[in-house]
Amino acid sequence: MYQGKFYRLLHPRPTLVVVSRCPGGRLNLMPASWNTPVSEDPPTVAVAVERSSYTHECLKHHRRATLNVLPLEAADLIYKLGTVSGRDVDKAAQFGVAFEKSEKVDVPRVAGAIAGYEAEVYMEVEVGEVTLFIFKVLHSWAAPGVADQWGYDFKRVNIPLHGAGRAFYGVDPRPRFVKKT
């Protein structure tokens, strides 16, 4: 029988950096590997956020956010963003994170992100110690040349997949195809 934490069998997972606007107007950043698309119509993405976290407080305060995909080279930054609370420090200032203006929401994107979503909270589901924030996607974007209609071009860019703790993985750019039967 498997003796590890049950969810580790579902890792590595793509990691988003959630940018939220908090009470007082400051921005907060939270890495989130517990995320998933939910529906195409309406376009929605869900992110699990621990109810005791500052990000939870911020999303309850201001219902819009950006969900940013950083390149694999930013794994160290992503890890660091998850090691401190935005209640205690201004993460953007402490880690030198720059922002870019969003098109549809008043919360900025992370500068240097390769893709992302501008979104608003559509629904919340409380499960155990987390709230599953289901975001309605208002606008999605990708940097030029990194994605096509099928998703990322892993010959040009790689995304951070979180394993556990400090472990991040990239994607092998060689596709594997299922044989036709």
Query: pLDDT, tens digit, for every residue of 109-150?
Result: 999 999 999 999 999 999 999 999 999 999 999 999 999 999
For 166-175, the pLDDT digits (tens) are 999 999 877 7
Distance between CA atoms of residues 118 and 174, nearest Å: 30
User: Do 81 and 88 form a contact (C-beta atoms < 8 A)?
Assistant: no
pTM of the model as a whole: 0.94
Q: Is the pLDDT of residue 99 over 80?
A: yes
Position 98 scores a pLDDT of 98
Percent pLDDT > 70 in the chain is: 99
Return the domain boundaries, the chain.
6-169
- The CATH architecture of the domain made up of 6-169 is Roll (2.30)
Q: Determine the pLDDT at residue 178.
A: 78
